[in-house]
Structure 1
Amino acid sequence: MTSLVDNGFLGTGWAFPVGCDPEQGISLTGGGAAAIRQSIWLILGTAPGERVMRPDFGCGIHDVVFDVNDTSTAGRVSRSVRDALTRWEPRIDVLDIYAAPDPDDRHRLLIEINYRVRSNNSRFNLVYPFYVA
């Protein structure tokens, strides 16, 4: 199955954040799992309405930025993340999403995403810190 990752089956694209590569011009992702991870960060970091030509792209977690950092907010965030990833990242199956207030920082909500890459059944997890006021 590693040949699927090596030949770019999972896709490549511009690296995020966008940068310059002295050999190729624009920095590109390595493809595979790295490209998917960057895509997830992009989806979660983009609020709907932020992209000019794609106003529905993104995740609704930005609607709760001024809410109280509690379990109710964590539940809303978990739902928004699941909906956004299901819609915008077709290369993965979302297995579980856990959102909980960070015990070390009362303004941070930690979102743990467990997912499986559909093409090779590899499992990954990612923790996305989301800050509330």
Structure 2
Amino acid sequence: MRVSASGGIVLVTGEREVEEAIRLVLATAPGERPTRPDFGCAIHDMVFAPVNEETAGRIAYEVRTSLDRWEPRIEVSDVVVTVAPDEGAALFIDIRYEIRGTNNPRNLVFPFYVIPSHDDPSTESEDS
């Protein structure tokens, strides 16, 4: 649902509807919805994980697994996780997919923020 230019409520359709559904799956942590406790994506378990290759790989796996399960309208071709260039606490999840029955490749970038550990020497200031 969206607010129209005139202030009314409108429903999204087509490719935009699929994009919103992907964002909903990724933004929901499993257990967050009492009536559907399995719904969502387990990337939220990695909020306190270090920003490294292992975490990026696990996030890519969780994204692919959750979208395969919860969004049958798409075929995920690739999930690439990169560290934001200016921020060490942000990861960009680039999901490359195709809506089934079309030959229209699409992508969606979903930002994911981690909370760096105070024990991690790479996050401490030089004055310490």
What is the TM-score when the length of structure 1 is the normalising length? 0.80
Q: CA separation of 1:67/1:120 partners in 2, compared to 1, >3 Å: closer, same or farther?
A: same
Q: Distance in 2 between matches of 1:40 and 1:97?
A: 13
Match of 1:67 among 49, 56, 63: 49
Residue number in structure 1 paired with 2:119: none
Partner amino acid for 1:128?
F
Partner amino acid for 1:45?
A
Match of 1:49 among 9, 31, 35: 31
Residues 71 and 100, structure 1, Cα contact 8 Å, conserved in 2 = no
Residues 17-32 of structure 1 correspond to what in structure 2 (within 5 A)? 26-29=9-12, 31-32=13-14
Q: CA separation of 1:119/1:23 partners in 2, compared to 1, >3 Å: closer, same or farther?
A: farther
Instruction: Give the CA deviation at 1:119.
Output: 2.3
Q: Distance in 2 between matches of 1:98 and 1:21?
A: 33
Residues 70 and 100, structure 1, Cα contact 8 Å, conserved in 2 = no
Q: CA separation of 1:20/1:126 partners in 2, compared to 1, >3 Å: closer, same or farther?
A: closer
Q: Which has the larger radius of gyration?
A: 2
The one-character-per-residue Cα deviations of 1:108-127 (angstroms, maximum 9, x if unpaired) are 01100000110222110011
The one-character-per-residue Cα deviations of 1:46-85 (angstroms, maximum 9, x if unpaired) are 0000011100000000000001111110000000000000
The one-character-per-residue Cα deviations of 1:76-103 (angstroms, maximum 9, x if unpaired) are 0000000000000000000000002112
Q: CA separation of 1:104/1:23 partners in 2, compared to 1, >3 Å: closer, same or farther?
A: closer
Q: Could you list the runs of 5+ residues in structure 2 that have no partner in the other structure?
A: 116-128
Partner amino acid for 1:115?
Y
What is the TM-score when the length of structure 2 is the normalising length? 0.83
Q: Which is worse superposed, 120-129 or 73-82? A: 120-129
Q: Could you list the runs of 5+ residues in structure 1 that have no partner in the other structure?
A: 1-14
Identity of aligned residues (%): 47
Q: Distance in 1 between matches of 2:32 and 2:70?
A: 15
